[in-house]
Chains A and B, each alone.
Chain A
């Protein structure tokens, strides 16, 4: 049945599926794993960095991008798109233009929810036009609003968006989400460091080669965004591994 109703985006199947949109969600699963965590005073975005080709300039392969950076008030909107790289670039550009347009029109920077809604509406338009295909990308959008509350939103190719406390998208997202469901507790996000460690631990569940393949960015309330260097990520990874070893030693002592 699927093969008769999945050729055109503008056609529903008899049981109400839009197969092209569902197939677009499969395209997202081909990208790397990204995780977003909303702490009490911090938002964290982490992503698996695939190894670049030898001759490729690593600096041009950034996955975490700022959509808006309001210098005086020092808050920003960070995003990561997972799925088709080219689609991500196009949507990021449109979102950035919208951020500036909004600032010039109403003299206020965008709220995280506004720009998420803009991106989601854009994605939805492409699921209802003939001759176009949906964007094969999901996004995690984080930031602080004027009121100082941290926000994390997720969008998907169908154009839906929701607020989350913690979420993962991309390859093996289900495994990471299950890890987060088990480990996202009030204690885990009590301090900024704990929230960062939770994000790294979640990624380490699926990232095959450890800390050097993780890209991490954070925004703390009233502070500019911070992109972590590989060394800083490694420090956290070493700390996590030490804690793991200590926990295992305690366990084995208890059992003895």
Chain B
């Protein structure tokens, strides 16, 4: 161990050579370790459940139901946008939900997540059942993202569907020479796969165009399987549920994938305002 000038403690590599005995001990896995590892894997499993019966789906979601259009909202602002503008303009039926647990979840119990907890819901439009929507307000950890993709898309997805992903990131993640104070946040940027030919409704994310978490996993998956997909990323300086951030997604309503799904915009704005007031969380830390 060594201390740096700043007082951090860093592990310095040992120049005396590796100790063989220590390494062997570390490699031997006891049955207890195996048990713990299996328990942890079971706890962190991503389960896709059918709506009515609450039983697990045997095949992946998109293998079971044919899909031409899939809109995924990840994060509370994106979910609020879809809830107010898209889900209120048609009749959507819940098809299933994904239940998962990781360290970011507030509850310790993975089996009894109530419907008000952060979760992942899948819906399809009653008038056109090949249009799917996913509202994901929980955090899907790195080790769970592959499972999620497998359970939703399957191991051999159809190529004739179009994926649209909506999510938010904090403006400090946006790589730029300017200071974050001078950026016009919230603002929208897009990142698309090679097979997505339609124009985006906002500028593309400039280099270094790095995205994280589940949206990145979905885009990578779509790029590998040559599925046309686009990610609309809203950079904002207010990460909690915020009216101005949600309204920054509005340009997407004019794109080909969402235009046909949205009917009544003024009513949607009213619904959004109501959603904001019911979700207001008081914090005394910040005045």
Contact = CB atoms under 8 A, between A and B. Distances in A.
A208 B8 contact: no
A29 B238 CA distance: 8
Contacts of A63: 287
Interface string B270-282: 0001001100101
Given A7-B6, A11-B6, A26-B172, A85 B286 contact: yes
- B contact face: mostly helix, strand, loop, or mixed: loop
B18 interface: no
A84 interface: yes
A209 interface: yes
B277 A8 contact: no
B185 interface: yes
A20 to B, nearest CB: 12
Nearest to A51: B280
Contacts of A32: 286-287
A52 B280 CA distance: 10
Interface string A47-71: 0001111001000000100000000
B262 interface: no
B116 interface: no
B133 to A, nearest CB: 25
Interface string B237-269: 110001110000000000000000000000000
Contacts of B284: 85
A52 B284 CA distance: 9
Given A175-B244, A208-B243, A84 B285 contact: yes
A175 B183 CA distance: 11
A88 B287 CA distance: 8
A178 B7 CA distance: 43
Nearest to A209: B277
B277 A29 contact: no
Given A29-B238, A63-B287, A175-B244, A53 B277 contact: no
20 contacts: A7-B6, A30-B286, A32-B287, A51-B282, A53-B282, A56-B282, A63-B287, A83-B286, A83-B287, A84-B287, A85-B284, A85-B287, A86-B285, A88-B287, A171-B242, A174-B181, A174-B184, A206-B243, A206-B244, A208-B276
